[in-house]
Structure 1
């Protein structure tokens, strides 16, 4: 219905303002509570950005590029085709808007499955990816994709040159969008290159991260929406995630409308047979627009008849100038766009970052702060700072990314998302650079230390005894903690020591067995499990009797000493049987 209304408005004499009002009315009717404004854009006054924009570009995944404003029908889609219908049985296909091209639909559902496994707390529904895919590209221009999910031609948004759109100068040297001057949103999910650089994923397993591949783009969009540990089953987090994709209240209303529509039912249609939306949020705007889809011609209105130039009257005595006057056309000086904040940045400075240290697996309590400055040391706001974790490390930013982009505030400071230490210990380097400008990067050094425990205790108090040449019936089980919390995956060493005052390995008494069954009295490479429990292998005894000590030490210095006894069985005779009567 929305598409039909949009077409009627465009074919008639209605102005752009009338069309925008109609779209606003439809949006308000289907997404109550969502504010709708001019041409699907939003001003700073009505913007509803996600709290904590760290880790994303200022304009979200798309750089706030234009999108399709067509809305779903007011009626619910008909049920999907029945899988049990026999051959030749007519099957209701549902409303045309409920059809999603097969490969594109498969990409959305595969992305949902991958996110359900990797980030189950996000609760990402594939219908949300479908809603965004519909709004961004009309499901890859109606499913015009190859068998591997790559679009038959690139899908590009307008160049973001500041003329009616955001100003984002080239960040990828034209690698993704073919534009070495300005960035353009790319692919079926419309990522700008600077965001794809860290958000890109390989969704079809071909070893590439291609924004023009619907499997790659859908998986990247899923991770982008789930990057802040949002729970998308909660309306507040759902709204924040959508707004982080494109910071516009009208965009939010449009996506939510399609989300609810797809939740009521969809069906699969062949690739390439889907329709392309007609309404766009940049209709009537100026700017160097590169259409994202082929535009079908509409019926033109009857043009006015151009006036013919009047036939000049012939003078009775024509005079021909002997020498034609030389005229010099006035030259229009080229307009030089005013410098952007990024153009004024001379260097980056540390903004008071504290020492960065964390145990393996823990989150760093301190965050990196960077200040963008001019040559004179003046702060520069609204500059995008990209943080990249370099080197061979599994340390990441919160959300699992190794790259994050943050915009400086009015004081010129950008604060990176929190770091989460991986399992690899040692130094981690995070480099800060300015997006869109060649400025010497600023390196930050963080240290990941090994997991430790400060307390270690036995989980039971049963005496550990054995006869010479036998095996201990009970195994030694210990529990490690750190500041009262479970100390999981903490390294430990177990040694049969000579005495309480001599920690050297004993040469007699109880022992463990190695893989070949040979006696060993020191075990290294042990580690507590996810519950902080350490269960030692079975212990055996040689022929030496006595009391022996087993000492277990963890990383961090927690120690416990366990007493082991080896003694012969009680040989006293049993009472004799009573004499017979």
Structure 2
């Protein structure tokens, strides 16, 4: 196994499987190659095995679970509008996945939820777990032709535990032969299990969208539901729940526990006998025709063959911080050329960080097209507001689905455990009465490193007995003060959070009309980390007496010195 445990899941569906982002990542790899049913494939019809009369899994359930009564005076009963959290997540994730793979299908998650409600009441009573599995198997009646359609075993009992006849299985009640074609991996665990609601919901979405259906067309929507169960009553029920979920809202409820009612054994008789279903008549052999001239095989277009992680896989950030991933993903076609324009879906899920999202639209999923070289970069993210774990999943899909899963954690923001003076001084702050103290700074630190975003408040007070801090009474205070926006005196203020360098700047502190003396100012964090500053206010200097003016000294002119007359030669 490689050091990073690369985890590339190559599933067999054109689907997206969402997951989430983390701080410290590992990757691992599992490859599966099972039969595929791609988009645009021939669509199921009302005579498909899935659409036959396959009974009702709710026959196993007590009446109050299968059909909850409407509470008195309630418009939308919780039994109808309430959906277990895991089931709701599975339906929504399936719709996102199908929208990425088949954007023209317009599959609403409420449609998948409507089918889940009619088929198994969202796996209620079977012990739905958070991973999508159930404590008890969900199986419909035996399809042996006694009251229902006859479908002989197609899975050797793998899913329905019956090696003679098939049964519909799982929360979405798939016939095993249908699942063989439409099975999907909705939770990225590398397997396709119709008993897992994540896998079943995704498989149902792909089945409904087959044949390039556009489910925004009422006729196509009707046709799709009939292909799931060829019953007008069934269609009406599914559409009724779908519209209720759309129009009336949905209440997410806890996953219900497993009921104590027994699950009927494989050979159990049907609870309500029905007349035998008519058997189809044997087809009449057609007259043989001469073999047609074989057509020349058409060259197949290159398919997506490889999708891998390149670059730095580490996605690490503190809570609430911007996260710029260094990871990129490369898509390669079967002919070895880059898969330019390949759609890649990135998604965040299983998130316990309070909401890690993409920066652009604040959503937890994004679709990116690869460039001419087949590369897709991960858009910028913002880590959730609290520490926790989450996963990040990148999926590229064609006839097969390629998925890379990254896992990790988001760490909590460091909390300041010390406030220090930015000037590292120890002497009291000094100011002359009538002037102000302005621009003084502190630094919030943790283990000697600056801490950004630290919130603090500053207030005047005194240290009482035992060193307890006693704030001044604003009505009686005569010491230094701050000013509010309205110019009024304030003796306690909230300071702006520390910057990236951890620095906190005190607002201007005024001393007008303040008597000289010693005062104290405390700066404290919500975690009670504090720094008490001593303020020394001095009196203005007193000017000395003005000296009396003196007369200027006038110099006395000196007498001229006589000179001897010049002697003639």
TM-score by length of 1: 0.38
Greater relative contact order (CA < 8 Å, ≥ 6 in sequence): 2
TM-score by length of 2: 0.39
Q: Report which of the two structures shows the higher radius of gyration computed on alpha carbons.
A: 2
